[in-house]
Amino acid sequence: MFLLLSLCMFGLLLRGEAQSRASLWKENDRSGRCQYTFTVPSPAESSCPQMSGPEVEGLKARLTMLEVLVARLSGGETQLPGGHQGPGARAQTELQETLNQAVGERNLLRGEKERLEREVEGLQRRMEEMRIETERLRNRPCPPQTPVVPPSQPLQDRGPKRPAAGSNPMSHLMTRPNRQGDSSSLRDSAWEYGAPGFQELKAEVTEVPAPDSNDDDTGCGVLLSVLEPVTHRKADNIAGKYGVWMQDPEAVSPYGPNMVWRIDAIGTEVRQLFGYEDMEQLSKGFPSKVLLLPELVESTGAALFRGSLYYQRRRSRTLIRYDLASETIAARRDLPHAGFHGQFPYSWGGYTDIDLAVDQKGLWAVYSTSKAKGAIVISQLDPHSLEVKKSWETNIRKNSVANSFMICSRLYTVASYAAPETIINYMYDTETSQGKTVAIPFRNKYGYNSMIDYNLAQRKLFAWDNFHIISYDLRLGRQQAN
């Protein structure tokens, strides 16, 4: 390369005949590097005069240009005359900027990683503190319970036996199951409140016989007692360990009033709705209709009313009204602020965050919200649009009870889903916006009651107890204010 450039200089300097008398020498310099030397005699001058200023400046300019050309060809110094940068300089600048940006991003990521590590350490410390606090509370002696005065009940010889005298009807509520779904050595969760502060309704209860089917009376009253469970069928496989079964109190064509419906709630693809002509066909296990629902079902909180199935869409707070006649979704709406998929379930778990119910007063939703801090919220729904018409917030936590049902606009909660002999322990009246503790005996015959609903068509409790489809006869009474 140096030889080529030197030849260029040589060509610029040669004039006339002097070109033919030029000579070239090649030898190593003191450092061992090869060096070329050209000798060109002047064509007109016998001696070399001293070079003038303009000549020196011109020579310097030519040498500078040669140096720039050499730098551009070799990829070295790329600064052009006039301060402009060549392609090599621009590429080097871009590479440097990219490197600086990568270093900056690396430093940011390193800082973010350190911040997340600090947050994880803080959460771990908080979890440990909560675990210690839980152990402390678990080992703390239980506060004395306020005696519960059950309502007077005539014909006690006809109803179930009450807890023995002197025993605490709440004593079985003071522990929790070891884990959700564990059916061995199950114990129920305690109420997460101190001394009960519920307002007692001052009332006198008298028994009322069930009205005739042609009577215009709605048959409303307070719950006096729940009789022994009657078993109708046992599920055939594991999919029927949990489930929900229903009957429409206001059936719509093409299905008659005796039609019974069932959903098995085990699995991640719960969408089959089985229909039976009557209770006899249900007990035999012969469905006459199987519908495939367009949206997956969450848990055991579905309900039937006026020809529509109402249920919660899986992994959401969305409520769906499915029209049985057209086999299409007639309405859908989110239940405002409702917890879902394990945020506020019943004590047995099963993603029972939203429980729909039907009684003499219409369609209801039982759930909780973050604002309510886990306490049960009751909302009356428009059965056509699913809009919330009115809501009530109670004083009892949803995860402290096993299940609930609505009768005559009153909410009743069941203390245990597993204890063979438990109680209905709380009642909330939406007409007076008052709640109170009660102690109505209730039996879990098969040890894992995952669904309890009042069925207005038969005026019984329908339940699903550990693979078994069962029902309970009820005794209601009129409430007469003093």
Residue 208 is predicted with a pLDDT of 45
Residue 167 is predicted with a pLDDT of 46
**Are 6 and 36 a contacting pair, CB within 8 Å?**
yes
301-316: per-residue pLDDT in tens? 999 999 999 999 999 9
Task: Say how far apart CA 188 and CA 32 lie, in whole Å.
Answer: 96
> Pick the residue with more confidence: 97 or 166?
97
Residue 163 is predicted with a pLDDT of 46
Q: In the predicted model, what is the mean pLDDT of the chain?
A: 79
Residue 278 is predicted with a pLDDT of 95
Residue 21 is predicted with a pLDDT of 61
Residue type at 76 in one-letter notation? G
Residue 84 is predicted with a pLDDT of 56
Task: Say how far apart CA 322 and CA 329 lie, in whole Å.
Answer: 4
Domain boundaries, the chain: 221-475
**Are 41 and 21 a contacting pair, CB within 8 Å?**
yes
Number of helical H runs and strand E runs in the chain: 4, 23
Measured over the CA atoms of residue 109, residue 115, residue 119 and residue 124, the dihedral's sign is positive
Residue type at 135 in one-letter notation? E
Pairing of strands 328-334, 318-323: antiparallel
Q: What is the DSSP letter of 129?
A: H
> Pick the residue with more confidence: 117 or 378?
378
Number of Cβ within a 10 Å radius of residue 41: 11
Q: How confident is the model at residue 40 (pLDDT cuts 50, 70, 90)?
A: low
**Are 471 and 232 a contacting pair, CB within 8 Å?**
yes
Average pLDDT over residues 239-260: 94
CATH architecture of 221-475: Beta Barrel (2.40)
Which residues have a Cβ under 8 Å from the Cβ of 291 and sit 6 or more positions away? 272, 273, 275, 324, 327
Residue type at 299 in one-letter notation? S
Task: Say how far apart CA 135 and CA 227 lie, in whole Å.
Answer: 39
SS3 for 60-118 is: HHHHHHHHHHHHHHHCCCCECHHHCECHHHHHHHHHHHHHHHHHHHHHHHHHHHHHHHH
Average pLDDT over residues 213-217: 39
Which residues have a Cβ under 8 Å from the Cβ of 376 and sit 6 or more positions away? 366, 367, 368, 393, 394, 396, 397, 398, 401, 404, 411, 413, 428
Q: How confident is the model at residue 147 (pLDDT cuts 50, 70, 90)?
A: low
Length of the chain: 482
Number of Cβ within a 10 Å radius of residue 133: 10
412-431: per-residue pLDDT in tens? 999 999 999 999 999 999 99
